[in-house]
Amino acid sequence: MEARKNEKNARSLKRLRKDLRSNGTPAEAKLWTLLKNKQVENLRFRRQFSIGNYILDFYCPELKLSIELDGDYHYNSQKHEIDKDRDSILYKELGIKTLRFENHIVFDTPDKIIYNIIREKMKNSVQYPFDELIERRGTNCYKWDDTPEGVIPMWIADMDFQTAPFIIEALKKRVEHGVFGYTKVPHSYYEAVVNWFKYRHGWQNLQKEWILYTSGVVPALSVVIKAFSQPGDQVIVQTPVYNCFFSSIRNNGCEIVRNALIYENQTYHMDYEDLERKASDPKAKLLLLCNPHNPAGRVWTRDELQKLGEICIRHDVLVVSDEIHCEFVFPGHKFVPFASISEALQHHSITCNAPSKAFNTAGLQIANIISDNPDFRQKIDRAININEVCDVNPFGVVALQSAYTDDGAEWLRQLNEYLLDNYNYLKEYFEKEIPQFPITKLEGTYLAWVDCSVVLDKRKDGYSLSHCGLDAPPPSIEEYLLKRHKVQVNDGSMYGDERFIRINLACPRKRLEEGLHRIVSGLKDLL
Ligand SMILES: Cc1ncc(COP(=O)(O)O)c(C=O)c1O
């Protein structure tokens, strides 16, 4: 009897450990997000308990995830004995502190228990060392080595964090091999991509055969433009948008057509009427979609994407969805791969993605171009060869395969938590100190987009900083902050809206605080 009980306890302990500790799977990461957001209504109980040996079984229908807890308790005025020794050991092992271990445990409602357990677990749940200040100068680093000494660079979109330790380990192993010849991509690479997007992002029917690889998302965009347009054709972009969209279109001899996003209440939405008009021009062949959007901070919803897709299908404009920012999504929002929405949108789009932005491996240069259409793939393959971007780097392959794993999902969960804290810090600081400079609502990415129109005068050829109180007004806010306040941001003009500046938040908190302090002092002086 005793042996059976012990065996059972050991089993339940093992199960609990597995369920509560291995929170690296996409489903669990989502669950933490739901709980953190207090969206506990998403949880319900399938079975409450059976007397003496009850099972608290909570079930999240959205994720088809359940967790079971064994024990005794008081519920709805009914008393059930608790095995105090057993359970206190169990909970101690799990590091759960909220449950009370006097004589009995009394819970109000079952979901409160779960919420408390998870809330405890969520405390200090960022364990990777994102606070560490790493010297990047002297490493041929674009961001730091191109920025004058003493200046804090908060511009180009890479992060000041080390990549995940398991990626570093995998790369070390590859380095130790010592031979770095021409590289191809193995079957397991495609499997990693398929499983990641299928299970983490819900792209259910994604197939290995649909994936072509190249050396980056910008090369991928350029290749797709080359494959599906002729010089003189029009390519639609939704401004403000990532600057390389403009250069890729121009470099292929095409015309940029702006379907400007509408800015209202510190957020952006799409202008479908304008899109309908612009897409109906027979010269419009492609639309470059940025999903999630840099720098507007939007994680587009399924409905928004669907509506955009319908317009593009109606006018035979192919959608090229750049999804490089897809891993940076804050609670309450969900990244939806454009092609996963319906077969129609899948047939009518090309997806470009990469792990490089999320795992800070941009220098390793690998990205994917995905299409379900074999004729499209043939055209893309041809353009990859014409542009000579068919070779990838052995480290990029290794990095992707170790990133697209459960460990990678857990690292991203912690990273997103850290980035969200950074964003909240910026928001509170700006709102308190300089409310005249509204912060665009950030649903994803780590790029804050700040409206500086309050200090700009409209001229016929743009905006100027004429009433900034300086004898010789600098040509842009970016230059003003760099020269006078030793902090470098990106000027909004790069993305198509010079009233804004873009601030990169992906750095240790200490550096962020100092950088933002400089920006706030500088902007205050302009008022
Ligand atoms: C939307 C978007 N696409 C692509 C890139 C760059 O991609 P890659 O480095 O793979 O060429 C960036 C970098 O900031 C980006 O923001």
Q: Which residues pair with 451 in a beta bridge?
A: 500
Query: Cβ–Cβ contacts within 10 Å for residue 375, how many?
Result: 8
Q: What is the pLDDT of residue 470?
A: 66
Q: How confident is the model at residue 460 (pLDDT cuts 50, 70, 90)?
A: low
Q: 101 or 420, which is more confident?
A: 420
pLDDT classification of 81: cutoffs 50, 70, 90: very low
What CA–CA distance (Å, rounded) separates 72 from 92? 16
Compute, in angstroms, the gap from residue 171 CA to the centroid of ligand 1. Answer: 22
Structure tokens that stand for 352 in this block: 């470009």
- How far is the CA of 150 from the CAs of 119, 141, 508, 512, in angstroms? 41, 15, 17, 15
Report phi then psi at 16, rounded to 5.
-60, -45
Pocket of ligand 1 contains residue 434 by CB under 6 Å:
no
Confirm or reject: Cβ of 218 under 6 Å from ligand 1.
yes
Q: Is the CB of 354 within 6 Å of ligand 1? A: yes
Cβ of residue 220 lying under 6 Å from some atom of ligand 1: no
Q: Which of 335, 344, 352, 351 is nearest to 312 (CA)?
A: 344
Q: Percent of the chain beyond pLDDT 90? A: 66
Rounded to 5°, the CA angle 158-162-166 comes to 125
The vertex-238 CA angle with 388 and 355, nearest 5°, equals: 50
pLDDT class of 25 with cuts at 50, 70, 90:
very low
The answer, yes or no, to whether residue 248 has pLDDT greater than 50, is yes
CB 151: neighbour CB atoms within 10 A? 17
Decide whether any atom of ligand 1 lies within 6 Å of the 506 Cβ.
no
* Cα–ligand 1 centroid distance for 356 (angstroms): 9
Q: How remote is the CA of residue 525 from the centroid of ligand 1, in Å?
A: 33
Take residue 201 and report the two structure tokens written for it.
């992002």
Indicate the top mutation candidate among 158, 241, 324 to test ligand 1's pocket, ranked by most ligand atoms within 8 A of CB.
324
Return the minimum-mean-pLDDT range out of 10-14, 63-67, 125-129, 463-467. Answer: 63-67
What is the per-residue DSSP string for 359-425? Answer: HT-GGG--EEEE-S-HHHHHHHHHHHHHTT---B-HHHHHHHHHHSSHHHHHHHHHHHHHHHHHHHH
Ligand 1 centroid, distance to 124 Cα (angstroms): 31
Indicate which atom in ligand 1 lies nearest the CA of residue 445: 16
Among 321, 357, 359, say which to mutate for ligand 1: greatest number of ligand atoms within 8 Å of CB: 357
pLDDT at 362 over 90: yes
Is ligand 1 within 6 A of the CB of residue 322? yes
Set out the domains of the chain in order of their start, with CATH numbers: 2-117 (no CATH), 142-162+408-525 (3.90.1150.10), 181-406 (3.40.640.10)
356 lines ligand 1 (CB under 6 A): yes
303 vs 476, higher pLDDT: 303
The mean per-residue pLDDT over the stretch 286-306 comes to 98
pLDDT of residue 475: 79
How far does residue 364's CA lie from ligand 1's centre (Å)? 13
- pLDDT value of position 331: 80
Q: Show Cβ contacts of residue 277 under 8 Å, excluding neighbours closer than 6 positions.
A: none
| Predicted local confidence at residue 137, as pLDDT | 95
The tens digit of pLDDT for each residue in 373-417 reads 999 999 999 999 999 999 999 999 999 999 998 788 879 988 998
As a whole number, mean pLDDT of residues 66-71 equals 40
Q: Which of 498, 405, 413 is nearest to 452 (CA)?
A: 498
pLDDT at 159 over 60: yes
CA distance 501 to 449: 6
pTM (predicted TM-score): 0.79
- State pLDDT tens for residues 421-445: 999 999 999 999 999 999 999 999 9
Which one has a higher pLDDT value, 417 or 286? 286
Query: In angstroms, what is the span from residue 218 Cα to ligand 1's centroid?
Result: 6
pLDDT above 50 (res 33):
yes
